[in-house]
Structures are given as structure tokens and as C-alpha cells.
Amino acid sequence: MSSRVFQAAAKSPDPYELERLAEELVARELAGSSYAPRTTASTELPIYVPLSHDNPYLTAEVFNVEEFLLSRSHTSLQDLRSELRDYLTSLKEELVLLINDDYEAFISLSTDLRGEGSRLEKLKFPLDDLRKRISESRAGLQATQDSIQETLDARTNLREEKALLHLLLKISESVTRLESLLLISQVTTSSLESHNSNYQFHLPAAAGQPIDAKSQGNRAKHLSRVTAEYTQLLYHIEKAKEEHCAFVDEIRWRIDRIQSTLTSDLDHVFSAILNSLTDIKAGKVLDLERTKLYVDLTECLKIYDSLHLWRVAEEIMRRDVMQAFIKKTIFPDALVASLSPVLPHTPLPAALSTRTESRGSALLPRTPYTPFTAFATKQNPFEASHVSGPVHLLDESNDALAKLYNQILRFIERDFGRIMEIAERVSLKAGSTKSQSSIALGNYDLRDAQQASADGFEIMTNVVWAEIGRAIMDELGTVIFAPGNPNEFRKHHSTTQAFIRSLEFLAPSTHSVQNMRSHPVFTAFQRRWQLSVYFQLRWKEVITKLEETLSSRILDPEAPNFTPGRNGFVTAQAAEIFTAIASCWSAEGYIPDLAHRFWKFTLQLLSRYREWLESSLPPAGGSPAKPAGTITNEKTSAIANPPRSSTPGLTPEATIESTAADEILLRQFATALVDIRAITSQVLQLWKEEISMMLPDTSIEDDTAEELLEAALRTQLEQLSALSTSSCSQTTAILSRRCCDALLPVRSIPSQFRAMSNKRIPSEPSYFAPTILRPVRIFFGIGTIGGPGERLKEELLRDVSTDVVESVCQRYMQYLTAMKKTEESLRRLKKGKKSTLSVFGSATAGKDDGKDEERIRAQMILDVEAFKTEGEALGVNMLSMSSFIVLDQMVRAELVDGDL
């Protein structure tokens, strides 16, 4: 190994590392005694490790040549080859040695196994005998186990039969005890065939007769005890039925007799308690006695609830209390007959009064309220109600139906208020009613309400509302639901809906209100309202008057029978349209159930008004003179004194007629613009203040629904605005044409100044300059009274004036350009005749011709300045208009180029 190291060192360029030693010596001298020589691994000599089986590169799963050579980088390739050859030789020797050792053991294996077969045969015989003995022992143990299991099964059957016998004994004893408690006479087995006719009810008095208070209270407690025993009996019978006992079938008739007797006694006691509580003629009932009666009533209701006989109790209340009151209160002539007042129970218990007031205040937050109208007026009886305790009474002034409803509400509050509360509390305590008072009334499933109503007391639904709704439909249906008189129908509808809401306030829970609204009588009651017929009558009432007004196609506030200024409108048609829209949402006509129809009708009215405007206004692309003449004839035919028309074919008379026609067109367009803006603003105000609040909630989110409805309304109003834009454009076109006609004298200025004998410089604008924009001032009523567009001054004055001034500037520039061309032609003509003579501005021109040109230019500058003043008075920014700037430059320039 040392020889290899020395050979490798000899082959290196610095075998003794003299340079490194020199560097360390210099560093040691510089650092002094604190210098520490480098001891890094890079200066250490490599350690020679011979090849062996422990080499990680040789034992790896995949031999990597590069890593192996890098690990032997200190060895030359010749030495590495010698190493590998030596390692190969050692491997071959080990392989030969391993083969020789294993071969010797394999050869000796057959010799070692000689004689083993006979020994195995000897071991086979005792194994069969052992297997047989084990099988016999297993069979004996299995027989013993089966015998023990049979004994255990027999004991289990005996135990079950014993328990069943005990159960049957309990049933027999319970039946006997119940018969004894109910005073049912015993019937022998031989009389089973006639047991149905032998039921005997042992009550203190005959059915329907009053019972004294003491006996009544004892009887209620006694029935409560019997019910507990009977409930236990039913539980035992259910367990016995599972075993298919014939004994249960044999005593079934006795159980049925017990049930019949129990329910009969219970019905009698319950009916007697109700009569004692609700019968005013029976005399005064003391506070203590009334309290005992309510305790007994609670016991009876608990018994009904435990027996699941809710409908039976409701039938008794309906038969003994509700029907008697309904028969004497609701009859065909009830609205014209005088009603006897509902007297309160006297003396009124103080505790009961406090309880009802506290219960009323507690009921208000959790009883839902569905708004049927949004108007707090006298026509809305519910919002003008006079509250007396928890019952909400209606406004009875001049309303017989409200008086009848108040009579019913007082009776329900007096006789059924506390009963419904007790029944609700009993049902909730027993867990038989699935009432969730925290659920909002609008978020419940109808099927869930119907399923819940099958369990528990529903006095408000099955007793109160079923009788009231059916009686109203049968006895008063021809009066209340008759839509012949729309005003009476709406009054009856609003009063009835207010009565229903007041009735819902008396309900003990929101669950009761849900069941009431899902009851078939309630559904049939709501369907009796002929709302579609009512809407048709209201529609006919509005449309008849409206179409009569819209039959006139004259869009003129001065036409006969017109009343301008009503609600900001100029014409009667616009006023009638808005009146029709407002009547749809007024308190005298609106019904919430018809909100979708009234909303559609509102949009249709706006569309109808747009169609009327389109047919009344002149066409946008037509000639102004022709429709103006047609409208003039229509107007004069409508007025009794038509004017005599001028002779056709003459230009001056035609011009006068065209001016009159333009006046009519301007008045029509101004009228349309004022009405469109008025109806748009007032309809949007009506939407914000009334319509958006009165529309009912939709299935989608409220904000989204309101946005969609408002978008539909604005779409109709935008179509009206499109007509407004067209009318404004035509108005601007007529005003522009009339203002441009006032510029005609501009063309005669040059000839006028040449013909003048007075050659002085002008100091005032021309006579026509102040009249250029006079049509605009007259239209907007500036300086005059009663202009057609006086009410449009703030909105349209500046825009219309700007457009008109733009048109006038363009026409003015055209006239100046034509004048310049004329002057140039005239100058060339004169120059051809006399070379030394010039018309304007030439160096060879005469003194008089130069003065004429200066006077003409000065006059034009004064006219343009006066025009600028008039435009600025109308709110036009003249200096910002490019056309006016060009016009001003043109009048200040010379009429003829100087080189001509």
C-alpha cells in the first residue's frame, strides 16, 4: 500500500507539497504564536481500503461504474485493475469452497433418511384409534348439550307463558275494575249475542241535564282516573295481541263497551261544563266556581287528548255552543236586523282579565299578519279598529257587516278564548301537536300543516271557522259575494278580510292559523270572491270614460271642454290617463289579490296614451305645412266659427297660412312635451309612494322583484320619452326655419346701401336683427304672456336655442357666401367695361365705392353683434360655437378679394 501511495505522489506535480508548506510558513510568521496549522480533511492522506464483500458499491442492487471509480480516485487504473483481478480470484476460490461444502451435505442427505418410512407406518396405527375415541366423546357431549338446551327452552316457555298469564290476569282485573268504576252491569257469557243492547250508563243525571258543581268536579276526576286505567289496559292488550291470545278476542266486546261508556260519560260531563261556562241565562257564576269549571274542563281536554278523541271534543263544542250562536246571529236578514249585544260573563274574574290582557300582548308578536290593504282610511275597517283587550274590533260606523263581525268576535273571545288556550297548552304538553310558533306563517308546507292538524285540538279551525265560514257562505253569500256594485263589493271584501285577521289574532298559535288557512272551508270561502268580475267592472268603468276622452284627436289646450292645468297637465287626455292609473291603486278600488291585474292595466294605460299621442301628433318625417293645414281644418271644424281660407295659389297668402299652421304645430308639440314630462314625473312619484309598497311579495327576492317591476314601468315611460324627443326635434326644426326666414333681408343690404343718398357710416343694427330669434322668445314666453312652451323654459330653452342659433349661423354664412360671389361677378363685369373702375376695395376704385363697402361691412358687423346679444339673452354661449366664430370672421373680412 505504501508503495502505491509513493508512486501516486511521485506522479503528481508537487509530490512533497512544497508550495503548501511554504504558504503555511509565511502564514505562521505573519500570525505569530496564535497561528494554528490547517487540519482540514483536504490535507490528510487518503486511507487505502481493500476490496471486500462489505464494499457498498459492490453490494448495491445496481452497480454504478462512475460512483465506484470516483470512490477509488486515489488509485490509478493499472492498480485498480490489479485489485479487481485479485478480488475476482478470491471470489472464485470462495465459490469453489462453498460448492464443495454443500455437495457433501446433499450427498449425505439420502443416507441419513434410510429407515424413516417404516417408523412412519408404525405411528399411523394408534392415530386411528385416537380419532375414534375423540368422535365418541364429542357425540356424548353434544347429546348432553342438547338435553340441557331443551330443558332451558322448556323453562323459557314456561316463564313466558307465566308472564302471559300474569298479563291476561292484569287485563281481566283491569277490565273488571273499569266496569266497576264505570258502573257497568256484568253480563254473562250466554248473553254475548245481545251485549250491544245491554250497555248501561250510570251518570248522576240524564244526558243533557245539568250537573251540580260538586258532582261535576268529582266526576271529571273520576273519569281522569278511569282514563289512566283504560290507557294501561290498552297497552296490555297491545302486548297480548302480539302473542295472538284468543282471550283478547273473547273480551273485545267488554273493552268496546268500556270505551263506549267512558266516551259517553266524558261527552256528557264535557257538555255540561261547556253549558255552565257559556250559558248566560244560568245566572251569575262566582269566581271560585268558574275556576273549578276551567279545572274540570282542562281534565276533560286531557282525557280527550290521551284517547286521541280530539274531533269528538270539537264536535261537542260545535254542536252545543257554536251552532246555537251561529243560528241566531247569521241568517239571511242579519245585515238589516238589529243584533242583540253579546253580554260578558259576570262577574268578570280579575285573574281572568289580567290573564287575557297579558295573553293578548303576548299573542301579538307571534300571530302573523298578512296585509290585505295598505290604506289607513275610513274605508279600511281593520286599521281604524277600536281595540278592546286582545280582540281587535272593526269600525262599525255605517257598516252593518262590521257590526255582525264584531258580534262574532266578541262571542269567540268570551266563550272560546280561554278554551282554545287550554286546549293548545294540553296538546303541547302531551306532545301531540307539532306546533312551531317561531316559524313564519309564509314559510310552511301545506301538507305538513294538514298532517299536523290530524293530531291535537284545532278548535279555531274545526269549530270556530268551519261554522262561521259555512254560515256566511250559505246565509249571506248572495249579499257579501255579489260583485254587481263594485264599491259595496270592495267594502265587503276589505271588511271580511279585516275580520279574518282579527279572528287570526284570537288563535292560540301560528300553527292554528296555518291549519285554518289550509281548511277546505277557508279555501272555498276565498274562492267565492268573484274578483275577476270585480276587476272587469272596474276596468269597464275606467275604460269607458277614458276612451270617450281619447276619441278626440285634437292635441290643443284651447279645444272645447278642455280644462288645462289640472294636476299639472295641459290636455284632458293626459289628466284622464293619470286619473285612471291612480284609481287602480286608490283605497276605493284596490284589492291586494288583484295586484297583478292592476299592474298590467297600469302598463296598458301608459301604452294606450303613447298610441294616442302617436296618432294625434304629425308624422316626424312629413312636411310641416301639410299636416299643419290638416290640423287647422280639424280644429276649425271642431270650433263653431271656422275662418275663411285665403285664395289658393298666391304666394303671400300661402305664407300667412303656413305661419298659422306652424303656430298650431308648435302649440301641439309644446302641449305633448308638457304632458309627457308631467305624466312621467307623477307616475314615478306614484310608484315610489304607493305602488311599490302595495304590490305583494313574490317568490323571488323582494329587491330583485321590485327592480324588475320598476324596469318594466320605466320601459313604458321611455317609450313616451322617445315621442318627447321626436316632438322636441320637430319643434326645433320649425323654430329654426322661422328664424332663418327672418334673415332674408340680409341679401338686400348691398343694394340698399348703394341706393342710399346718405353715405354716412351706420351706427345701429338693421331692423331685422332683433327679430331673428323672436320666434324662440315667443315660443318660450319670454317678454310675452302665454307662450306655448312657457312651462318648458327651464328644461329646453338653452338646448333649443343653441340648435336654432346653429341653424341661423349656417344660413347666415350661406347668404354671405352668395353675396360675396355676386359682388365678385359684378366687379368682373364692371372691370371689363372700364378698367379703371372698381366696385369695392380696389386701389383704382372710386372714393364712393370704397365708402359703400365699408358701410356694408360695418352694418353686417352691427347685425352680427346684435344677433350675438340676442343669443346670449337666451342662454346660448355664442363664443363657444364654431359656426358663430366663422360667421363673425366672415362679416369682418372684405367682401371682394383685393387682387380683383
Return the beta strands (E) in 312-365 as ranges: none
pLDDT at 195: 42
pLDDT at 601: 92
User: What integer is the mean pLDDT of 288-298?
Assistant: 86
Q: How many CB atoms lie within 10 A of CB 540?
A: 11
**What CA–CA distances, in Å, run from 832 to 686, 827, 852, 853?**
78, 9, 21, 20
Q: Is the per-residue pLDDT at 882 higher than 70?
A: yes
**Average pLDDT taken over every residue of the chain:** 76
Reported confidence tier of residue 864, pLDDT bands at 50, 70, 90: confident
Q: Is the per-residue pLDDT at 575 higher than 50?
A: yes
Give 230-269 pLDDT, tens digit per residue: 888 888 888 888 888 888 888 888 888 888 888 888 889 8
Q: What are phi and psi of 380, to 5 degrees?
A: -105, 95
User: What integer is the mean pLDDT of 545-552?
Assistant: 88
User: What integer is the mean pLDDT of 783-791?
Assistant: 78
Q: Is the per-residue pLDDT at 425 higher than 80?
A: yes
Range in 20-29, 745-754, 764-773, 845-854 the model is least confident about: 845-854
Place of cell 271642431: 638
pLDDT at 30: 78
Place of cell 330653452: 797
pLDDT at 522: 92
Give one DSSP letter per residue of 408-427, joined into a string: HHHHHHHHTHHHHHHHHHHH
Q: Select the highest-mean-pLDDT range: 409-423, 632-646, 754-768.
A: 409-423
Helix (H, G, I), strand (E, B) or coil at 31: helix
Query: Cα separation of 529 and 523, whole Å?
Result: 11
Give 593-648 pLDDT, tens digit per residue: 888 999 999 999 999 999 998 888 877 654 443 333 343 344 334 333 333 333 33
Range in 27-36, 137-146, 630-639 the model is least confident about: 630-639
pTM here is: 0.64
Q: Is the per-residue pLDDT at 285 higher than 70?
A: no
DSSP character for 792?
G
pLDDT at 342: 63
**What CA–CA distances, in Å, run from 344 to 405, 406, 408, 679?**
17, 14, 13, 56
Give 819-839 pLDDT, tens digit per residue: 888 878 877 777 766 554 444
Residue 219 or residue 142, greater confidence: 142
Query: What burial letters (b/e) apply to 578-598, b meaning 16+ CB within 10 Å?
Result: bbbbbbbbebebbbbebbebb
**Helices 572-584 + 651-686 axis angle, to 10:** 10
Range in 206-210, 300-304, 421-425, 565-569 the model is least confident about: 206-210
Give 507-534 pLDDT, tens digit per residue: 888 888 998 999 999 999 999 998 899 9
Reported confidence tier of residue 126, pLDDT bands at 50, 70, 90: confident
Residue 432 or residue 142, greater confidence: 142
**Which residue stretches of 791-839 are H helix?**
793-833
Among 634, 603, 843, 572, smallest CA distance to 711 is for 603
**What CA–CA distances, in Å, run from 815 to 68, 109, 849?**
108, 139, 21
Reported confidence tier of residue 15, pLDDT bands at 50, 70, 90: low
pLDDT at 602: 92
Give 703-728 pLDDT, tens digit per residue: 677 788 888 989 988 888 888 888 88
Q: Is the per-residue pLDDT at 368 higher than 50?
A: no
pLDDT at 88: 92
Query: Cα separation of 358 and 360, whole Å?
Result: 5
Give 309-362 pLDDT, tens digit per residue: 899 989 999 998 888 889 988 888 888 776 666 655 554 444 433 333 333 333
- Supply 890's cell numbers: 366672415
Q: Is the per-residue pLDDT at 216 higher than 70?
A: no
Q: Is the per-residue pLDDT at 146 higher than 90?
A: yes
Place of cell 284632458: 572
- What share of the chain has pLDDT > 90, as a percent? 11
pLDDT at 148: 94
Contact 220, 299 (CB under 8 A): yes
Cβ neighbors of 539 (< 8 A, separation 6 or more) are 601
pLDDT at 650: 36
User: What integer is the mean pLDDT of 280-299?
Assistant: 75
User: What integer is the mean pLDDT of 847-873?
Assistant: 80
Helix (H, G, I), strand (E, B) or coil at 788: coil
Give one DSSP letter per residue of 522-539, joined into a string: HHHHHHTS-HHHHHHHHH
Contact 806, 880 (CB under 8 A): no
pLDDT at 431: 62
Cβ neighbors of 808 (< 8 A, separation 6 or more) are 736, 739, 740, 743, 772, 773, 867
Reported confidence tier of residue 53, pLDDT bands at 50, 70, 90: confident
DSSP character for 893?
S
Reported confidence tier of residue 379, pLDDT bands at 50, 70, 90: very low
Reported confidence tier of residue 6, pLDDT bands at 50, 70, 90: very low
The partner residues of 391 in beta bridges, in order of sequence, read 388
Among 754, 737, 722, smallest CA distance to 839 is for 754
User: What integer is the mean pLDDT of 421-426?
Assistant: 88
Reported confidence tier of residue 876, pLDDT bands at 50, 70, 90: confident
Cβ neighbors of 348 (< 8 A, separation 6 or more) are none
Q: How many CA atoms lie within 13 A of 460 on its CB side?
A: 29
pLDDT at 138: 92
